[in-house]
Amino acid sequence: MEKEKLKAIIKNFRRGASHQRTNQFIVIIDGIKTKAKASSLVGKKVSWKTKSGKLIAGRIMQAHGAKGAVRVRMVKGLPGEAVGTPIQIK
């Protein structure tokens, strides 16, 4: 039996005042509300499905903030339309 995949939403690009990293995202995960729980997911693989059905892979880098968000680095940059869409954590 396959492990249950966690569901999450891409919240925003990782960015600074004048620079946006198109291959790094802030992700909010359902059911994860603390930094400790978010830190336990570091290293897990993630995937985002394009409209055409292709999967773009990535990995959780570290926790972001104190409320359970995580930073994700994708292998390839994602388009702006990816913000607000679901992403799967394996």
Query: What count of other Cβ atoms lies within 10 Å of the Cβ of residue 37?
Result: 14
Q: Is it the case that residue 2 has pLDDT exceeding 60?
A: no
Are 45 and 90 in contact by the 8 Å Cβ rule? The answer is yes
Cβ-Cβ contacts under 8 Å for 48 (sequence gap 6 or more)? 10, 55, 56, 58, 74, 78, 82, 85, 87, 88
Whole-number Cα distances in Å, 83 to 4, 11, 36: 23, 6, 25
Taking only the tens place, the pLDDT of each residue in 26-81 is: 999 999 999 999 999 999 999 999 999 999 999 999 999 999 999 999 999 898 89
pTM metric for this prediction: 0.85
- Provide the pLDDT for residue 1: 39
Q: How far apart are CA 48 and CA 57, in angstroms?
A: 7
Cβ-Cβ contacts under 8 Å for 85 (sequence gap 6 or more)? 9, 10, 48
